Amino acid sequence: MDENKKKQAEKVYATLVNYFDGKGFSHTDEPEELVLRCTFKTDDLPADLRFKIIGELDLIHLLSTIPVQLSADRIEEGCLAACSASNDLFDGNFIVNSEDGSIVYKLSYYYTGSIIGEEMIDYMLDMGLAMIDRYNDRFLLLQKGLLSAAEFVAQDE
Amino acid sequence: MDEQQLQKEAGGIYQLVCDALDKFGFKYRKTEEDLRVELTLRSSDLDISFSARVYPKIQLVRFRSELPFSVVEGNEVKIALAINLINMSAPSGAYFFDAKDRSITFLVSQSYRGSIIGVDAFYDNIDCCLHFADKFNEKLFFYDRGKFELDEFFPGN
C-alpha cells in the first residue's frame, strides 16, 4: 500500500476509534489490521460487529454478525432469505456463507479523497445493530424450519 | 440540518456524481428534479443499464446497474447461491436478486452524512459497478441458462 493511502487509512481508523471512545463504547482494537471489534447487548443475543478500514481500496467496511448458524440443510433456504431480506433494505446487504452457515450484514463506503465524519460512523453502527435486532429472530426461525424464505419479509407486510 | 439545507447539500453531491461520470467520459441523461442520472453502457457482452440517484433526507447516493435478463423460473435457489457466493467476495457493493420478478441488480451505495466526500469516491463507486458487471454479469447469465457451474465463478478455489 502506498504511503498516502496508508496515512489516509490511519486517519479514518483514528476517527473510528475516537468515535467509540467519545461515546464510551467498549471496543477491541487491532491497529495493525485497522480493525475495531465491538459487542453490544440487544434484547436477546449479543451483537458482534467488526469495522475494518481497507486501505488498498479506500473503504470503511462493517460486518455485523447475525448470531445464528445455519446447518447444511438450511443453507439454500438461508441464501434465498438473505436475498429477500437484502431486497427489503435501502442500504447494505445480507450474506450467507454457504461453507460454514454464518450470516452477516455488510455495509461499506469509499473514503477516497474524502474526510469521514463521526456522523457516518454513527449511521453505520445504527444500521449494523438495527439489522441484527430486526432479523436475528427470523433467521433463527428459518434455521429451525419454522419460517421459509418466502415468508421472510412477509413479516413486515 | 433542515430540509432546505439537505436539498442544497444533495445538489452539490449530485454535481460531484456527474463530475465522476464525466471523468469516465460517459454520456448520460440527467433528471435534476429527482437528482438522478441514467445511461446505458454498451459492452461486448451484455449491455448495462446504469443509474445513480441522490437521496437528500438520508444523505445517501445509490449506484445501480440492472442485468438485462430475467432468471429462468425454477432457478431461484441456484441464483441465490451464486449471488451469496459472489457477494462474499465483494468488499463493496452487492448483487441483489428479487425472486418475485426474477431480476438481478448490482448496487453500491455511498453515504455522505457528516462528511466531505470527494469526486474520487464517487468515481470508485461507479468503477465498482463496472468492475462487477464486467466480471460477473455474463457468468450469471450463462449460469442461469445452464452453461456454467457454481464452482466456475471462482475457479481455483
Within-domain flag for B132: yes
The complex's ipTM works out to 0.94
Q: Which structural domain, as residue segments, surrounds residue B58? A: 3-149
The pLDDT assigned to B44 comes to 64
Interface of B with A in 5-64 (CB under 8 A): 58, 60, 62
Give the number of domains in chain A.
1
The Cα A62–Cα B134 span in angstroms is 25
Q: Which structural domain, as residue segments, surrounds residue A36? A: 3-156
Up-side HSE of residue B142: CA atoms within 13 Å toward CB?
A: 13
Tens of pLDDT, residues B13-69: 999 999 999 999 999 999 999 999 999 987 666 788 999 999 999 999 999 999 999
Tens of pLDDT, residues B136-149: 999 999 999 999 88
Give the end-to-end CA distance of chain B in Å, rounded to a whole number: 48
- Nearest Cα of chain B lies from the Cα of A126 at a distance, in angstroms, of 13
The rounded mean pLDDT for chain B is: 93
Confidence of residue B1 (pLDDT cuts 50, 70, 90): confident
- Nearest Cα of chain B lies from the Cα of A156 at a distance, in angstroms, of 16
The pLDDT assigned to A156 comes to 54
**Which of chain B's residues have a Cβ under 8 Å away from the Cβ of A119?**
113-115
Q: What is the pTM of this model?
A: 0.94
Tens of pLDDT, residues A103-113: 999 999 999 99
A102 touches chain B (CB under 8 A): no
Q: Is the pLDDT of residue A153 over 80?
A: no
Q: Output the domain CATH number for residue A30.
A: 3.30.1460.70
Give the number of domains in chain B.
1
B96 touches chain A (CB under 8 A): yes
Within-domain flag for B157: no
The Cα A135–Cα A78 span in angstroms is 12
Tens of pLDDT, residues A7-30: 999 999 999 999 999 999 999 999
Nearest CB to A80 within list B62, B99, B125? B99
B116 touches chain A (CB under 8 A): yes
- By C-alpha distance, which of B92, B107, B110 is closest to B14? B110
Strand pairing of B29-31 and A103-110? unpaired
Within-domain flag for B155: no
The pLDDT assigned to A84 comes to 93
Q: Is the pLDDT of residue B156 over 80?
A: no
B/e letters for B123-139, b = 16+ CB within 10 Å, e = fewer, are bbbbbbbbebbeebbbb
Closest-CA residue of chain A to B61: A91
Q: Output the domain CATH number for residue B139.
A: 3.30.1460.10
